[in-house]
Structure 1
Amino acid sequence: MDARVQASFLKALERLDAEIGDALEPRLRDMIRLRVSHLNGCHGSIRMHSEALAQQGARHDLISALARPARQMREGLVADGDAAALRFAEVLTDAPRGLEAEAREHVGAWFNASQIGAIVEVVAITNAWNRVLRGMD
């Protein structure tokens, strides 16, 4: 099957992607994007976000660890707040489990309402990109 997505749709995604997530540090945004892309099995996005993190100076063991659930990360690899953000991103992405109150409460201990909103935005746009890219493969 050959899928063609309207150019205007892709441009709208690009614009939205450029406008969201500013309340987060760029490194955390890319960590979330990479973790969500792993959950969605979007290999092109995994490569792109891995390279972005490497360019920011992220260590290889961190980039590799983002392929696994946040709860399985080695202690001390990421800050506790970043781990909470990654766990919240996992919960938002993995629809069958639904939104767990524990993940929302935990992320709230580390981030303010604007930052939590930015996490939701980054997760939503990454999920959208992953689905579009996988659908066009």
Structure 2
Amino acid sequence: MSTSTQRRVKVASLAPDFYQAMIDLDAQSATGLDPRLADLVRIRASQLNGCAYCLDMHTLDAKHAGDSEQRLHLVGAWREARKFYSEQEQAALALTEAITLISVDHVPDDVYAVAAAAFDDKELAQLIGLIITINAWNRIGVTCRLEPGHYDPS
């Protein structure tokens, strides 16, 4: 990873209509989903994408909402720590990985089938939207090198 001090644009101030559209999309993306599950999805995608800013934000959000330190520390190894996550959360995390890493193996049928069994159609559509939205945010955070440590969940 380069440590260059090259100028990075501030999307929020230079493309405010786009940024507001992302905020609006984000506000709708988790509608109807358990907030703890939504936080786990955002955290896992952010881990995979290497977005420190989003990791900081969403782990703070999850802690603020009452999720345990243990679950938050283990989410990167959720398959080995399954007992800490519900079947629905495990299905969401697997789908998050498949969609986030789509260039590796697209979205495998077995992963999609497990998610489809764990969520009703409307929830599944919302989950897909949530995963796509956090991936978009991660791309903004990584591209613009947003710095963690400034977010306050309250």
Aligning the two structures, in what range does the TM-score lie when normalised by the shorter sequence?
A: over 0.9
2:55 match? 46
| Partners of 2:82 and 2:42 in 1: CA distance | 21
Give TM-score scaled by structure 1 length: 0.93
Displacement over 4 Å in runs of 4+: none
Partner secondary structure for residue 67 of structure 1: helix
Residues 1:103 and 2:108 are matched in the alignment:
no
1:79 match? 86
1:12 match? 21
What 5-or-longer segments of structure 1 have no aligned partner?
none
Give TM-score scaled by structure 2 length: 0.83
| Partners of 1:130 and 1:75 in 2: CA distance | 25
2:134 match? 126
Of the structure 1 ranges 98-107 and 74-83, higher mean CA displacement relative to structure 2 is found in 74-83
1:28 match? 37
| Greater Rg by CA | 2
Residues 1:2 and 2:7 are matched in the alignment:
yes
Identity %: 25
Instruction: Give 2:110's aligned amino acid.
Output: E
Residues 1:56 and 2:65 are matched in the alignment:
yes
State the Cα RMSD in Å.
Answer: 1.2
CA-to-aligned-CA distance 1:25-71 (integer Å, 9 cap, x gap): 11111110001000000001101110111111111110011123x42
**2:46 and 2:134 in contact (8 A); partners too:** yes
Partner secondary structure for residue 2 of structure 1: coil
Deviation, 1:129, is 0.4
Q: How many residues align?
A: 135
